[in-house]
Amino acid sequence: MHFAIQSKTISTGRDEVPGPERALSRRRIGRTELSAGPLTIGLNGSLHIREERLSIRCDACRLMYVSDIHLRRTRSDNLCRQVIESARSSEIDALLLGGDLVDGPAELGKLCDLVDALCEVAPVFAVGGNHDRNVGMDRVRDAVVSGGGKWIHAGAARLSHGSRVIAVSGPDAASLPEADFQVLCAHNPRVWKTARQHGYDLVLAGHLHGCQVVAFEYRNRLFPGAVFYPYCYLSHQYGSTRLVVSRGVSDLVPIRWRCPREVVLCHV
């Protein structure tokens, strides 16, 4: 189950014009509604799939951003199952892992198995976060690559989708590859301060978990978290660049108020 990383364009295997059934299903999909109340305790409920539409074209590329899984003992199996189910149910063209994947070295094997399962659904690209750095970024990278994923923290990958090329870059990428649509897959939304002027169409981040407690939203910011963290957004537009911040899959202390655990499905 070992795969070598190659710098090449990956095809999604999808036609430029999707079949009528897929087009119909896309038109029917809206924002996922929450079935539970505003208070969430524990990690047993299904993940919220938040949709962000940057394109209205019927053949839009579907990128799923998954951040802050925080695999750790006693919870890894449940979290992996939730992420895999979300990916399988969403007809995705690629899956982006946005860092804070593991909380300890004992879970690197679980991460490898998760990536292996996700690669059966779609190509997987990954970057690291601050918790991964604590474990050892090289060790997390090796687990991702051993599972068949592509590690792009300091690089980029190009994804062919019909007649278009989607480029996905990591936060330490030296330059943007040539493409029709540019995506930055990052962990900490502080990157937005500089990334919005570097030619990206979409910047993806996580890290903040929505601060777990949300009293209200104002101009796409979550409060009171935005008082302390200026990039505590759901999404934000600056010129032609969109920032999308995920509220994350898991927390160290799994208690939330009006802040669902989620993955983000982007139509680009």
pLDDT in tens, 223-266: 999 999 999 999 999 999 999 999 999 999 999 999 999 999 99
The pLDDT value given to residue 144: 98
Looking from the CA of 118 toward its CB, the CA atoms found within 13 Å total 36
In this structure, of 10-14, 57-61, 135-139, the range with the lowest mean pLDDT score is: 10-14
Contact 97, 66 (CB under 8 A): yes
In this structure, of 28-37, 177-186, 218-227, 240-249, the range with the lowest mean pLDDT score is: 28-37
What pairing do the DSSP bridges indicate for beta strands 181-185 and 202-205?
parallel
Record the tokens describing residue 254, joined without a space. Answer: 């799994």
Q: Report whether pLDDT(13) > 80.
A: no
Q: What is the pTM of this model?
A: 0.87
Q: Report whether pLDDT(124) > 70.
A: yes
Helices 76-88 and 108-119, axial angle in degrees (round to 10): 10
Q: How confident is the model at residue 214 (pLDDT cuts 50, 70, 90)?
A: very high
Summarize the confidence of residues 47-62 as an average pLDDT: 95
Alpha helices, H only, the chain: 20-28, 76-88, 108-119, 130-135, 137-146, 192-195, 225-228
Q: Report whether pLDDT(4) > 70.
A: no
Contact 223, 214 (CB under 8 A): yes
The chain-wide mean pLDDT, for the chain, equals 88
In this structure, of 15-24, 29-38, 126-135, 179-188, the range with the lowest mean pLDDT score is: 15-24
Q: Which H/E stretch holds residue 127?
A: strand 124-127
Q: Report whether pLDDT(115) > 90.
A: yes
Summarize the confidence of residues 194-204 as an average pLDDT: 94
> pLDDT of 136-167, one tens digit each?
999 999 999 999 999 999 999 999 999 999 99
Q: Which residues contact 81 (CB under 8 A, 6 or more apart)?
A: none
- Phi and psi at residue 111, to the nearest 5°: -65, -45
Which of 93, 124, 161 has its CA nearest to residue 5? 124
Q: Report whether pLDDT(219) > 70.
A: yes
Collapsing DSSP states into helix, strand and coil, what is residue 149? Answer: coil
The pLDDT value given to residue 188: 97
